[in-house]
A and B are shown apart, each in its own frame.
Chain A
């Protein structure tokens, strides 16, 4: 077992990188929840809609737990959750826009939600104590998301025709930015590896490949041949771009927050 990290002893680069990692995970969870919530109505069946609703709740709960980790770093999580502009969000690029169809949601369940979970698993096994204690329960809840994604991905791929075509297109669209994010290798990411917070790049990419490779093969995509997006934003720890404004207004609760009395 890795020795617990002493955050007070971290140098500036490592501390900024740790905050960046927590933020990109929390923001990704929040956006994943929004994308699932879009399919509470309009999913292929009532049961699927209920599952989408439940998964949205899971994701928002996970996001809240991740944002709360900032308290231990001496930062107030409330402005993080409610005061940032879309350009400051560090969520993975595959969640920037709403999902065009159910096949894209299924691809996101496997590739995006799965990719986030593979990085979370690395984080949970690392030296940052709050991740060690809080992330395993998230990962247990994520097993149901993975099961649903796996079943639907296989089913749409086997259906062929338009279903497989849409799934293939979504897979091609999402993979490059996910590979870049999971396999981040900038100075901040390397500092986290050195500090024992995350596994090194190769192990993270191998875990991601173990998790999603069997699925991408179903749509004739060889994961080894997918290049990572090159347009990396080192400040936010994601590829360039930003979530659409409507999603961020929902994430912040703009419309009704004025009514909220704390």
Chain B
């Protein structure tokens, strides 16, 4: 059984823009996450796009919400 995990997608439209969280995708590894993100969020000609597995995001000031929940579920 393939286990898919959530990856969050960040982009900047132009050089110098701030990196912005634009959404998420489900994927079974980093490689498929790259492709799914690029193909799903293709409404702009992005200068940069990157993905990060949600469980790798460390909440700083909240112990609830999607990022904290993802880390708890991964334990």
Q: Do the two shown chains form a genuine complex with each other?
A: yes
User: Which of B25, B32, B42 sits near A148, CB closer than 8 Å?
Assistant: B32
B45 CB to closest chain A CB (Å) equals 13
B24-66 near A? 1/0 per residue, CB < 8 Å: 0111110110111011101000000000000000000000000
Instruction: Give the residues in chain B near A151, CB-CB below 8 Å.
Output: 28-29, 31-32, 35
Complex: A10 Cα to B21 Cα, angstroms: 54
B1-30 near A? 1/0 per residue, CB < 8 Å: 010100000000000000000000111110
Interface extent on A, as a size class?
Answer: 10 to 19
User: Which of B4, B29, B34, B42 sits near A45, CB closer than 8 Å?
Assistant: B4
Instruction: Give the residues in chain A near B2, CB-CB below 8 Å.
Output: 155, 159
Complex: A54 Cα to B32 Cα, angstroms: 14
A129 CB to closest chain B CB (Å) equals 27
A99 CB to closest chain B CB (Å) equals 18
B40 contacts A155, C-beta separation under 8 Å: no
Instruction: Give the residues in chain A near B28, CB-CB below 8 Å.
Output: 151, 155
Interface extent on B, as a size class?
Answer: 10 to 19
A48 contacts B31, C-beta separation under 8 Å: no
Instruction: Give the residues in chain B near A46, CB-CB below 8 Å.
Output: 26
B32 contacts A144, C-beta separation under 8 Å: no
Complex: A256 Cα to B27 Cα, angstroms: 37
**With contact pairs A45-B4, A45-B26, A47-B25 given, residues A144 and B39 touching in the complex (Cβ less than 8 Å):** yes
B39 contacts A54, C-beta separation under 8 Å: yes
A67 CB to closest chain B CB (Å) equals 24
Q: Is A150 located at the chain interface by the 8 A CB criterion?
A: yes
Q: Give residues of chain A (135-194) contacting chain B, Cβ–Cβ below 8 Å.
A: 144, 147-148, 150-152, 155, 159
Least CB separation from A152: chain B residue:
B32
